[in-house]
Amino acid sequence: METIDWENLKDVACEVMQHAYAPYSGYPVGAAAIVDDGRIVSGCNVENAAYGVGLCAECGMVSELTKGGGGRLVAFVAVNGNREVIVPCGRCRQLLFEHGGKALKVLMPHGVMTMDEVLPYGFGPTELNEVESAVKVDMPYALQENVQ
Ligand SMILES: [Zn+2]
């Protein structure tokens, strides 16, 4: 795979961070990722007066991914209001795992890690399918063996 232009991806995250709706925390976040077809998707956090309803930047980013036809995330970065690289929260690690798989490259404050390192032993459809009473689900595109 070609070299990832992390600086450009970070610039996209910084740009979208400026559109964040974060009146309650004052902590705007921007997220951006490269998709396996070359698209770049991005999102910003959107808070709410009911604090628990707030959406992380990754939520909007994954929504853009799926509305644009899906695909696998191959490289991801999130930034704060100081334009500094930040780590994805626990819930968003799960979101990124489902749409990026174990091979997704995540730019962390100390360098690039794979999703498998950021979320070891990630929960996925395999766990669901192991329970007889659970609704059987197809393996998401990003988690299929031939997509990695
Ligand atoms: Zn999050």
| Residue 144 falls inside a structural domain | no
Q: How confident is the model at residue 60 (pLDDT cuts 50, 70, 90)?
A: very high
The CA distance from 86 to 3, in Å, is: 21
Q: What is the rounded CA–CA span in Å between residue 135 and residue 118?
A: 28
Tell me the per-residue pLDDT of 123-145, one tens digit each, with 9 for 90 and over: 999 899 999 999 998 899 999 98
- The two structure tokens encoding residue 31: 């997220």
Q: Tell me the one-letter amino acid at 83.
A: R
Is 131 within the bounds of a domain? no
User: Predicted confidence band at 147 (pLDDT cuts at 50, 70, 90)?
Assistant: confident
Quick check: is 148 in a domain?
A: no
Per-residue pLDDT tens over the stretch 69-114: 999 999 999 999 999 999 999 999 999 999 999 999 999 999 999 9
Say how many Å lie between the CA of residue 79 and the centre of ligand 1.
12
Backbone angles phi, psi at 146, to 5 degrees: -80, -5
Q: Supply the pTM of this predicted model.
A: 0.94
Question: Whole-angstrom Cα distance, residue 95 to residue 106?
Answer: 13
Residue 24 lies in a domain: yes
Q: Which residues are annotated as a binding site?
A: 45-51, 56, 89, 92
Residue 147 lies in a domain: no
Q: Is 117 tagged catalytic? A: no
Give the structural domain span for 88.
6-121
- CATH code for the domain of 89: 3.40.140.10
Domain membership of residue 146 (yes or no) is no
Name every residue whose Cβ is closer than 8 Å to that of residue 127 and which is 6 or more positions away in sequence: none
Number of structural domains the chain divides into: 1
- Does a structural domain hold residue 145? no
Q: Is residue 30 situated within a structural domain?
A: yes
Annotated active-site residue in 2, 7, 15, 58? 58
